[in-house]
């Protein structure tokens, strides 16, 4: 009897890092965001389950791409108290399924994949929205997500220096040293948010803050902002005044209006309305919408994360991972 069962691959966090370098991830996100905005994928709104007793959250995300002939499924948990326990705040598992046969193809560490693809999506947004001559970045947060945000920005712009602000100054100093070594640019911890923004052309916010992490008056004309930390309607990293004066671009409109606290609260406060979202990134990539209009314009990319980004990233991990001999293969 012929066994038609496809091999099932298991990729660790280390495997994912090796198989998904940032340039390849950025390229994958260009395709993912373009096909999302042109209606070429099926992406249901993600399921959000609160764990009240643990003050934590569980997100379940799925997507189907006919182009890739794959189904993607991710389960992600967010436990704010975990860093104090020596555990990651974000933990996740991603599964890739053959759409033609319905057979599971791979499972992989989702936390690293999430961080890389989230950074890569911001990289794509930075490519179409920031000034081409941008040189200095301000980073808010000093965790894994902040690292990949800065890495992605450096992949699409010729960045010379960065400043990082975190409430934990020790973490900020460690981040600065580690990323300076990795990216070969000058990075310094900032004592205040205002100091971090002093020379910023690009701002990345990747925090667990529930209220704005900087003052609107500190955002200079021409600044581009990537905001990725908030995924709940009652939280926000970006001041409403900044949202109101910025050209706002999102990964997906419906997801943004369901979860992006910055937009929802600015709308509820009467500062913006439903038309304030200028475009999805994929619409700009497809040529249907414009990007930055002037050097003085403030632009804001608000990302809540979309499942076909995970699917596209996982597709790259499977393809490159098997080619490089990474992971292990098992029979189910």
Same domain for 176 and 300, yes or no, is yes
| Greatest CA separation for the chain | 71
Kindly list the strands in the beta sheet with 224-227, ordered across the sheet, starting from the edge strand earlier in the chain: 186-189, 161-165, 136-140, 202-205, 224-227, 299-302, 247-250, 277-280
> Is 297 within the bounds of a domain?
yes
| Residue ranges making up the domain that contains 137 | 130-305
Is 175 among the domain residues?
Answer: yes
Give the chain's domain count: 2
Q: Which residues of 307-327 are buried (b: 16+ CB within 10 A; e: fewer)?
A: bbbbbbbbbbbbebbbeeebb
221 and 257 assigned to the same domain: yes
Q: Are residues 157 and 69 in the same domain?
A: no
6-62 pLDDT per residue, tens: 789 999 999 999 999 999 999 999 999 999 999 999 999 889 899 999 889 999 999
Judgement on whether residues 85 and 176 belong to the same structural domain of the protein: no
Q: Are 98 and 159 within one domain?
A: no
Q: Residue 332 pLDDT > 80, yes or no?
A: no
What is the spatial distance between Cα 107 and Cα 91, in angstroms, rounded to a whole number?
Answer: 14
Convert the pLDDT of each residue in 107-143 to its tens digit. Answer: 999 999 999 999 999 999 999 999 999 999 999 999 9
User: What is the reported pTM?
Assistant: 0.93
Q: Would residue 99 count as lying in a domain?
A: yes
* Domain at 27, CATH number: 3.30.1780.10
What is the rounded CA–CA span in Å between residue 238 and residue 296? 19
245 with 274, same domain: the answer is: yes
Q: Which of 328, 247, 314, 316 is nearest to 109 (CA)?
A: 314
Q: Are residues 83 and 26 in the same domain?
A: yes
In the prediction, which pLDDT does 5 show? 66
- Domain containing residue 276: CATH number: 3.40.50.720
Element (H, E) at 154: helix 144-156
Residue 177 falls inside a structural domain? yes
Q: Do 289 and 156 lie in a common domain?
A: yes
DSSP for 236-282, written as a single string: -SS-HHHHHHSEEEES-HHHHHHH-HHHHHHHHTTS--GGGEEEEHH
Which pLDDT band holds residue 4 (cuts at 50, 70, 90)? low
Residues 211 and 294 in one domain: yes
Give me 12's structure tokens: 């660790």
155 and 275 co-located in one domain:
yes
1 pLDDT above the threshold of 50: no
Based on the fold, state whether residues 37 and 157 are members of the same structural domain.
no
Alpha helices in 68-134 (DSSP H): 82-85, 110-129
- What are the φ/ψ torsions at residue 256 (nearest 5 degrees)? -65, -45
Flag whether 246 is in a domain.
Answer: yes
């Amino acid at each position: 009897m012929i066994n038609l069962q496809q091999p099932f691959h298991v990729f660790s966090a280390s495997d994912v890092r090796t198989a998904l370098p940032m340039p390849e991830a950025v390229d994958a996100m260009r395709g993912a965001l373009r096909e999302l905005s042109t209606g070429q994928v099926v992406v249901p709104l993600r399921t959000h389950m609160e764990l009240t007793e643990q003050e934590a959250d569980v997100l379940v995300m799925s997507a189907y791409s006919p182009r890739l002939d794959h189904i993607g499924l991710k389960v992600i948990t967010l436990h704010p108290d975990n860093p104090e326990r020596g555990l990651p705040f974000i933990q996740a598992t991603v599964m890739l399924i053959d759409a033609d046969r319905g057979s599971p193809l791979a499972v992989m560490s989702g936390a690293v994949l999430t961080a890389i693809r989230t950074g890569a999506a911001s990289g794509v947004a930075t490519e179409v929205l920031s000034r081409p001559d941008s040189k200095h970045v301000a980073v808010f947060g000093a965790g894994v997500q902040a690292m990949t945000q800065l890495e992605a920005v450096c992949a699409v712009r010729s960045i010379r220096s960065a400043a990082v602000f975190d409430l934990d100054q020790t973490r900020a100093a460690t981040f600065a040293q580690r990323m300076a070594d990795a990216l070969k640019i000058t990075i310094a911890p900032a004592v205040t948010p205002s100091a971090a923004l002093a020379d910023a052309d690009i701002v990345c916010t990747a925090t667990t803050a529930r209220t704005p992490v900087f003052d609107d008056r500190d955002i200079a004309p021409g600044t581009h902002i990537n905001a990725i930390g908030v995924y709940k309607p009652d939280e926000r990293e970006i001041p409403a005044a900044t949202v109101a004066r910025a050209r706002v671009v999102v990964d997906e409109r419906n997801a943004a209006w369901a979860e992006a606290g910055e937009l929802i609260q600015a709308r509820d406060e009467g500062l913006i309305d439903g038309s304030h979202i200028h475009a999805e990134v994929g619409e700009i990539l497809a040529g249907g919408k414009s990007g930055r209009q002037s050097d003085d314009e403030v632009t804001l990319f608000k990302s809540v994360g979309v499942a076909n980004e995970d699917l596209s990233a996982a597709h790259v991990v499977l393809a490159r991972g098997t080619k490089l001999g990474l992971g292990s293969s098992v029979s189910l």
